Amino acid sequence: MSATYSEQAPAKINLFLHITGKRDDGYHLLESLVCFTAVGDVLSGECRDDGAINLTITGPMSASLALEETKNNLVVRAARLLQEESGTSLGADLVLDKRLPVASGIGGGSADAASALRLLCDMWQLDLDQNALSRIALSLGADVPVCLHGRTCLMSGIGEELTDLPELPPVAMLLINPGKAVSTPAIFKAREDEAFSVSGLWDVQREFASGAALADALSECGNDLTLAATSILPEICDVLNALAREEGCLLARMSGSGATCFGIYDTSDQAEKAAIAIAAQHPDWWISPTEIISQQARVLSNIGAS
Task: From 156, 40, 157, select the one nearest 98 (Cα to Cα).
Answer: 40
Residue 168 binds ligand C5P (CB under 6 A) = no
Distances (CA, A) of 81 to 30, 43, 274: 26, 17, 42
Which DSSP symbol is given to 166?
P
Please confirm, yes or no, whether 98 is among the known catalytic residues. Answer: no
Q: Residue 170 burial (CB < 10 Å; 0-12/13-18/19+)? A: middle
Fill in the amino acid letter for 243: L
Please identify which residue in 137, 142, 229, 259 interacts with ligand C5P, judged by CB under 6 A. 142
Residue 184 binds ligand C5P (CB under 6 A) = yes
Please confirm, yes or no, whether 143 is among the known catalytic residues. Answer: yes
Residue 30 binds ligand C5P (CB under 6 A) = yes
Nearer to ligand C5P, 90 or 144 (CB): 144
**Nearest distance from residue 229's CB to ligand C5P, in Å?**
12
Residue 249 binds ligand C5P (CB under 6 A) = no
What is the helix (H) or strand (E) element at residue 109, kind and residue range?
Answer: helix 108-123
Torsion of CA 46, 53, 73, 292, to 10 degrees: 20
* Cα 299 from Cα 301, distance rounded (Å): 5
Q: Per the annotation, does 299 bind a ligand? A: no
Residue 239 binds ligand C5P (CB under 6 A) = no
Nearer to ligand C5P, 41 or 143 (CB): 143
Burial annotation 113-136 (CB, 10 A radius, 16+ → b, else e) = bbbbbbbbeebbebebeeeebbeb
Q: Looking at 41, 97, 112, 143, which residue is catalytic?
A: 143
Residue 158 binds ligand C5P (CB under 6 A) = yes
Please identify which residue in 31, 41, 97, 143 interacts with ligand C5P, judged by CB under 6 A. 143
**Nearest distance from residue 280's CB to ligand C5P, in Å?**
35
Catalytic residue numbers, as ranges: 12, 143
Binding residues: 101-111
Binding residues for ATP: 101-111
